[in-house]
Structure 1
Amino acid sequence: MRRLVISLVVLLALLVAADFGAAAVFEHEVSQRAKQQFGLADDPSVKVGGFSFLAQVAAGEYDSVTVDAKGVPVQDVLRDVDVHADLRGITAPLSEVVSGSLKQIPVREVEGQVRIKAADVNRALQANQSNSAIASITNLTIEPAAKSLVATAPADGSETDLDSVETADTEGATAGVRLCGTVEIAGQSTELCVFSVISLEQGSIAIDAKRLELRSAAGTTRLPSAIEGVILEVFSRSLPTGELPFDVTPTAVTVQSGVLTVKGKASNVVLGQG
């Protein structure tokens, strides 16, 4: 009985090792194809989902694979964009997985995302700006805001009832966002919050700044309309996103804490094609 138990344990260990080894080979092959298709300098991270990789190999189809590329530069504006893709229903012959000769990988469905972080948004806003207040913005934050809140402009500049509520809009072609940062005004540290609507454009996210608020120890301040207009114009700009992975067509923009995201889906994609 002891020998049987030991044999079973050894066999199980060998199966686990083989499963991890085969998965590593497959992940490397997918990473190389994704690197080529993304046009990346470094290999993206690839992770195979599912309980047993070898069982998926035997079936010839893989339930879920995620691909992540971090720190991707976009044009000369953004330096730290994250590219993420969820691949579902991947078909790959066993012989090509074992030999490492995968060239083209059919995928039933792809969901791709491009994520822009607050630091890159801040850098883009400050680029080529002569306005000293904008150039001194630090600690920029990104938070979701309902579009109804963005459009609300209190007459006296005071805080609205919804200002403290972070409510993301339903996923779609537009979304509300609150961009806040710290600036020095008249020697006093002041929080500047710009409420905007973001929308999809060809290869970019368009920011349409609607209103702003200044908050300091002295309370909430309303700027003269001329100065407010200048600041809103600075914040109203387009951020290039580059292309979504695997030629996915952008269909939605979303706002999460610290991140602006462009999303899209595609069906019947061939990884490594072209």
Structure 2
Amino acid sequence: MTQGQGRAWIRRILVVGAMLLTLAFLAEVGTAATAEYRLSRELRAAAGLADDPEVTVGGFPYLTSGGRHSKLTIAVPAEIDGRNARLEAEFADVTIPGGLLPTFTPDTPIRAGHVESRVRLDQKTVGRYMDIVDLQVHTPAPKRPGAGSPADGYVKASKGIVLTGTVPLPTSADPKRTVLISVAADFSAIGDAIAVRATGIYTGPEDHAKADLLPGEEPTVLARFTHTLPAMALPFGVRPTGARGENADVVLLGEADGVTVTPGAFHRSLP
């Protein structure tokens, strides 16, 4: 074999190898996408949703997973109590029966070592619940170098959330008086509801609105920013364990270990 022929064989081997890798990659992606699509469609049908949920099966490679995956995430816009929300569930150490291309039914068991279930509300929706139409929610980043960068994703906290909005403070001289002001607030879960408790007028370093209050008006302002939202059902019936701010969102969440859920239980209204 001449040197030129040897090089030609090497090129053929490389081409064949690249083709096999491409086929394997396409099979990997296609199989995982089919499983995600099937679960998404079943979740939509079972919960009567207007949109297909975003479903992502984590872990690589899918083709040799045997139905066991490191992560499964589900998210979909929904309407709760006539207002916009986002339903989310994030599973770890997941087992899905049915092999590479499982067919889901309302009763298909999905087992997981851990689940975090969430109802996410944007600041506009929370403002409507609280009757503060221009409400802004700001979750301060932790006090450490580089905190709050895009690499951190959502900035999460339950205490010291900055709420800014316009509230009425009428006086005899000005019955229509309003003020734009910021308060610090804590979030918690009371039963199935998000509780917002204003703890003081905010004067810290984060962006905020200042206002000149008259003597005795601070309690009135704090009361306007203190509110318990209506009860909400978390995906898969997980019981709430807390509430927090995540960037400009307000989240009701619940966590549980060693769970088995079914698509039919993705979202049901509270009794």
User: TM-score, with normalisation over the residues of structure 2?
Assistant: 0.71
Which aligned pairs between 1:72-83 and structure 2 lie closer than 5 A?
A: 72-76=78-82, 78-79=83-84, 81-83=85-87
**What code does the residue aligned with 2:111 have?**
V
Residue in 2 that maps onto 1:205? 194
1:111 correspondence with 2:95: no
Residues 69, 95 of structure 2: 8 Å contact kept: yes
Residues 162, 202 of structure 2: 8 Å contact kept: no
Residue in 2 that maps onto 1:154? none
Residues 117, 253 of structure 2: 8 Å contact kept: yes
Give the secondary structure class of the aligned counterpart of 2:28.
Answer: helix
1:43 correspondence with 2:48: no
Residue in 2 that maps onto 1:141? 136
Q: Tell me by how many angstroms 1:66 deviates.
A: 1.0
1:62 correspondence with 2:69: yes
CA offsets 1:85-109 (integer angstroms, 9 cap, x no match): 11222223454x43x5233132222
User: TM-score, with normalisation over the residues of structure 1?
Assistant: 0.70
1:84 correspondence with 2:54: no
Corresponding pairs, count: 229
CA offsets 1:6-44 (integer angstroms, 9 cap, x no match): 222211111111111101111012213433555422111
Give the secondary structure class of the aligned counterpart of 2:159.
Answer: strand
Which aligned pairs between 1:24-43 and structure 2 lie closer than 5 A?
A: 24-36=33-45, 38-43=47-52
Give the secondary structure class of the aligned counterpart of 1:250.
Answer: coil
**What code does the residue aligned with 1:68 have?**
A
Structure 2 residue corresponding to 1:264, chosen from 254, 257, 265? 254
1:196 correspondence with 2:185: yes
**What code does the residue aligned with 1:199 have?**
S
Q: Tell me by how many angstroms 1:258 deviates.
A: 0.7
Residues 194, 212 of structure 1: 8 Å contact kept: yes
Return closer, same or farther for 1:256/1:92 CA change in 2, 3 Å cut-off: closer
Q: Tell me by how many angstroms 1:118 deviates.
A: 0.9
Return closer, same or farther for 1:184/1:125 CA change in 2, 3 Å cut-off: closer
**What code does the residue aligned with 1:22 have?**
T
**What code does the residue aligned with 1:141 have?**
Q
> Gaps (5+ residues) in structure 2?
1-8, 142-147, 149-155, 204-209, 266-271
Identical amino acids, percent of aligned pairs: 28
Give the secondary structure class of the aligned counterpart of 2:22.
Answer: helix
Give the secondary structure class of the aligned counterpart of 2:51.
Answer: coil
What CA distance in whole angstroms lies between the structure 2 residues aligned with 1:47 and 1:240? 30
Residue in 1 that maps onto 2:62? 53
Give the secondary structure class of the aligned counterpart of 1:221.
Answer: coil
Q: Tell me by how many angstroms 1:239 deviates.
A: 1.6
> Gaps (5+ residues) in structure 1?
127-133, 147-165
Q: Tell me by how many angstroms 1:212 deviates.
A: 3.5
1:238 correspondence with 2:228: yes
What CA distance in whole angstroms lies between the structure 1 residues aligned with 2:96 and 2:245? 35
**What code does the residue aligned with 2:165 have?**
G
Return closer, same or farther for 1:124/1:273 CA change in 2, 3 Å cut-off: closer
What CA distance in whole angstroms lies between the structure 1 residues aligned with 2:104 and 2:167? 53
Residue in 1 that maps onto 2:151? none
Q: Tell me by how many angstroms 1:230 deviates.
A: 3.8
Which aligned pairs between 1:153-168 and structure 2 lie closer than 5 A?
A: none
Return closer, same or farther for 1:92/1:122 CA change in 2, 3 Å cut-off: closer
Residues 116, 260 of structure 1: 8 Å contact kept: yes
Residues 67, 85 of structure 1: 8 Å contact kept: yes
What CA distance in whole angstroms lies between the structure 1 residues aligned with 2:196 and 2:86? 19
What CA distance in whole angstroms lies between the structure 2 residues aligned with 1:92 and 1:208? 41
